[in-house]
């Protein structure tokens, strides 16, 4: 993931979760004037309730969102495509499915 973002010359910020401040997803990405949030999970793991709420806030604000559980998966390919053609409000397939299943 880090290599893909670096290759695209995207700005990335990976907040450190220390229990202070507001909850955040794993990556905040700025690229060509657009913002995307990325939540990464080990294969078979799922976002927590708090992460899901944060994901909804990202989408509700009109930003792009990706939920990636493995670097070679379909959502990683969607991220690579987004880095080539960034836009506002893009929600990856896995993120869309997760948010629909967890209303």
pLDDT grade for 1, boundaries at 50, 70 and 90: confident
Indicate the range of 12-16, 41-45, 71-75, 97-101 predicted with least confidence: 71-75
Interval 36-90: pLDDT, tens: 999 999 888 999 999 999 999 999 999 999 999 876 677 899 999 999 999 999 9
Q: Which residue has the higher pLDDT, 70 or 30?
A: 30
CATH topology of domain 2-16+23-90: Trna Endonuclease; Chain: A, domain 1 (3.40.1350)
Q: Would you state the pLDDT for residue 44?
A: 85
Report phi then psi at 23, rounded to 5.
-65, 145
The pTM is what?
A: 0.90
| Count of residues in the chain | 103
Report phi then psi at 26, rounded to 5.
-65, -40
Report the 3 state secondary structure along the chain: CHHHHHHCCCEEECCCCCCCCCCCCCEEEEECCEEEEEEECCCCCCCCHHHHHHHHHHHHCCCEEEEECCCCCHHHHHHHHHHHCCCCCCECHHHHHHHHHCC
- Where are the chain's structural domains? 2-16+23-90
Per the structure block, which two tokens stand in for 81?
């495509």
């Amino acid at each position: 993931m880090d290599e893909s973002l670096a290759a695209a010359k995207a700005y990335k910020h990976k907040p450190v979760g220390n229990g202070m401040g507001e909850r955040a997803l794993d990556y905040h990405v700025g690229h060509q004037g657009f913002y995307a949030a990325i939540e990464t999970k080990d294969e078979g793991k799922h976002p927590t309730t708090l992460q899901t709420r944060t994901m909804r806030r990202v989408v509700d604000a009109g930003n792009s969102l990706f939920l990636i559980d493995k670097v070679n998966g379909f959502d990683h390919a969607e991220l690579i495509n987004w880095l080539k053609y960034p836009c506002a409000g893009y929600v990856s397939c896995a993120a869309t499915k997760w948010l629909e299943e967890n209303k």
